[in-house]
Structure 1
Amino acid sequence: MTNSCQNTWPEKSGSANRVAIWLALLAFVLVPADAIVIRHDTGYTRYLASEGEYPGVFPLAQQGRRKVCVATLVAPQWALTAAHCVSETPMQAALADNDVYAVEVDRQVHDIDSVFLHPGWSGDMSGRLHSRQFDLALLHLSTPSTASVLAPYRGNSESAQAMTFLGWGYTGIGTTGTSVADGRLRFAQNTVMQADDRLRFEFNDPRNRDGRALEFEGIPGLDDSGGPALILEDGELQLAGIAIGELARTADGTGAGRYGAIVVYERVSRHLEWIESVISDN
């Protein structure tokens, strides 16, 4: 397992193009985006997903109809999520008081009794895309879940692969960004644009003639932090990424959730040694 992360981007040919890319990146900031955002030319209902099809994927908090952060079972008593979700939900306060934190997994209530933060996580929310910071946490359930687990992807072929996102948060369309939170599970799909120590995806505009936009093109965002990027491997879905944030083109985040936005996932295959050591030691 590698313990470093290079925050690099695809290069275009020519030094002028490389300079232009890096200048453009200075305008990017990590912002709170808002959940599954879809194509403008496709009906909302086509993106609705059945919770029964993904029993090992579950929200970590609920505020009215709004569901915040997502975790995925990787073993009967273990779930993987983004480290910043621990502090963005009441989980951190509950565990700090030596209490347990209840979640619902496949319609069964389970208690989270401990959290194991990645050793590369400093707790700095604003710097969670820093090259040496890893935004991952393993959650331990006090009792095993009978829900199907999603095995961590063990390969090295994520680049240019189509993956599936899941989330319950705000929804909207690529032309206008996010709009409403109805607490319904949605899916979207996207193709990996870059796979180094992290995975990056771009929200492609179907009006462009390059043909890169998928039929169910979309991206996740803040309320879906910790959510999975699923890859189909040997006929089964496996966990390839964990959502940690969206890059927007403006300092005030007005570009969030719109076409051209780039979302970032922790690359699970880079952290298999940590995941396996925590589970085996505890």
Structure 2
Amino acid sequence: MKRINSIALLLMVLLLSMNFSYTTSNEHELMITRHDKDEADFLKLAEKFEKYMCLLNLPDCEGTIIADQWVLSAAHCAVAITEKFYNGRKHFVIIDDVEIEVDKVIMYKEWGNPQADNSSLKDIALLHLKTKPMNVMQAKLYVDEDEVDKLVYMVGRGDKGDGLIGINGNDGKKRGATNRIETATKNWLTWTFDHPDTKTKYLTEYEGISGPGDSGGPAFVVKNDIVYLAGISSWQDTKGGDEGLYGVVENYTRVSQYIQWINKEMTGNGDISEAILRVEPAPDAIAYKYKPKAIDIHASTLKQYVGEYKTVKNTTVKVYTKENGTKFYIMTSDNSEYEFIPTGKHKFSSKKIEGFNLEFKNSENGVFKELIAKLPDGTSREAIRK
């Protein structure tokens, strides 16, 4: 889950950060878990809730199914979908491995003018689906205001890690984790990622937090075997350190404070002043599928690009191949891995992320000395071979 530092960052959900690491950690989302438990426990925990989940089919972000054709997520995730609508494209989420079209996005009021202080945000949005998803479960909304001390369940798939090492790449597996709510304020539910040695009543057996890419994902509360959605992943206070380490504090949008708004919008009785944005795709919107066109290139040719490159921020970008030199990858400083395909002379495009391109320059003795990454916002980052 990425930190929200300004409106500029909120609107640029497809950018690389200044240290050359992608802000969204590619197409997956995951949990950061305590270090002293078997990984299999967290994998098994996720299975209990996967039928409630909606993958927003963005470089990051998830949502929760709450009605026949409704998904609840974070507003800063929904921004990317509205941008596609404005550009004449349709958008499809993924539920139970099936793509379903989104035909309306509703953002909560005040979202268009948030303050620099994260605590003032109203980070919640509704997505309406064109067709009803099948073979799924619907989470009930948590309406009571007694959230403090309640056990919450979080689910995600993507960047993994634990409280000692922080973020440590991704493997695409879905994991679950638990925590216990410490505070419930006007906008937020919060909890701390506690070290197992911490003597606190808030430490849980499967202690964890959301990871990069988990924005919009759920915090479930289970009462009498009924699954309730209590919170929506929004931002993380790292207390001056790195994301994913013990001691960081999670901030989830407090669903109980938006019950009236959610019900009004879903029933069609919402006041237009209540929402800063209601966006639908144009009637002639196209179902755009990003698929870069690859050119043929011999595996031996890829060797000239392989190596480690250093950015102006003194972080390392690794370029390497897999599968006997036929697959081409880079790994950024946060251990996120991206596959690229050759699309031109010394040029490569991300297999998944539109607008994320590489160009290699300054060949010397059969190897390239310079790597330029062109980002989805049109800007570039440079790295020099170490």
**Counterpart of 1:79?**
71
Q: Deviations over 1:205-263 (max 9, x none)?
A: 1122345421100000330000100001232111000010100122xxx4311111000
**Counterpart of 2:38?**
43
**Counterpart of 1:141?**
129
Contact 1:76 1:145 survives alignment (8 Å) = yes
Matches within 5 A, 1:179-198: 179-197=168-186, 198=188
SS in 2 for 1:168: strand
Matches within 5 A, 1:249-260: 249-250=239-240, 254-260=241-247
**Counterpart of 1:165?**
154
Q: Which has the higher contact order (CA 8 A, sep 6+)?
A: 1
- Note if 1:271 corresponds to 2:258: yes
The change in CA–CA distance for 1:53 and 1:266 in structure 2 (over 3 A counts) is closer
Runs of 4+ in 1 over 4 A off after TM superposition: 31-35, 49-53
2:226 to 220, 228, 236: 236
Residues 136-145 or 203-212, more deviating: 203-212
Contact 2:57 2:94 survives alignment (8 Å) = no
Partner Cα distance (1:127, 1:225) in 2 = 18
1:56 to 52, 71, 81: 52
Residues 99-108 or 194-203, more deviating: 99-108
Report percent identity of matched pairs.
29
Partner Cα distance (2:190, 2:47) in 1 = 26
C-alpha displacement of 1:129? 2.1
Structure whose CA Rg is larger: 2
C-alpha displacement of 1:106? 1.7
Partner Cα distance (1:189, 1:127) in 2 = 29
The change in CA–CA distance for 1:123 and 1:48 in structure 2 (over 3 A counts) is farther
Partner Cα distance (1:128, 1:110) in 2 = 35
C-alpha displacement of 1:123? 5.7
The amino acid of 1:69's aligned partner reads C
Partner Cα distance (2:65, 2:224) in 1 = 19
Q: Deviations over 1:41-65 (max 9, x none)?
A: 11222211455742121221255xx
The amino acid of 1:54's aligned partner reads E
Kindly indicate which of the two structures has a greater share of residues assigned to strand: 2
Partner Cα distance (1:274, 1:221) in 2 = 28
Contact 2:150 2:181 survives alignment (8 Å) = yes
Residues 217-226 or 262-271, more deviating: 217-226
CA RMSD of aligned residues (A): 2.2
**Counterpart of 1:11?**
none
C-alpha displacement of 1:107? 2.6
SS in 2 for 1:246: strand
Contact 1:35 1:220 survives alignment (8 Å) = yes
Q: Deviations over 1:74-93 (max 9, x none)?
A: 11111000011123x4x233
**Counterpart of 1:10?**
none
- Note if 1:246 corresponds to 2:241: no
**Counterpart of 2:191?**
201
Contact 1:103 1:109 survives alignment (8 Å) = yes
Partner Cα distance (1:52, 1:200) in 2 = 23
C-alpha displacement of 1:32? 7.9
Partner Cα distance (2:130, 2:24) in 1 = 31
2:215 to 220, 225, 228: 225
Q: Deviations over 1:73-119 (max 9, x none)?
A: 111111000011123x4x23321134321121123221011100001
**Counterpart of 2:373?**
none
SS in 2 for 1:242: strand
The amino acid of 2:72's aligned partner reads L
The change in CA–CA distance for 1:73 and 1:210 in structure 2 (over 3 A counts) is closer
Contact 2:55 2:61 survives alignment (8 Å) = yes
Count residues with an aligned counterpart. Answer: 241
Contact 2:154 2:209 survives alignment (8 Å) = yes
Partner Cα distance (1:222, 1:208) in 2 = 24
Matches within 5 A, 1:92-171: 92-122=82-112, 124=114, 127=116, 129-131=118-120, 133-146=121-134, 147-171=136-160
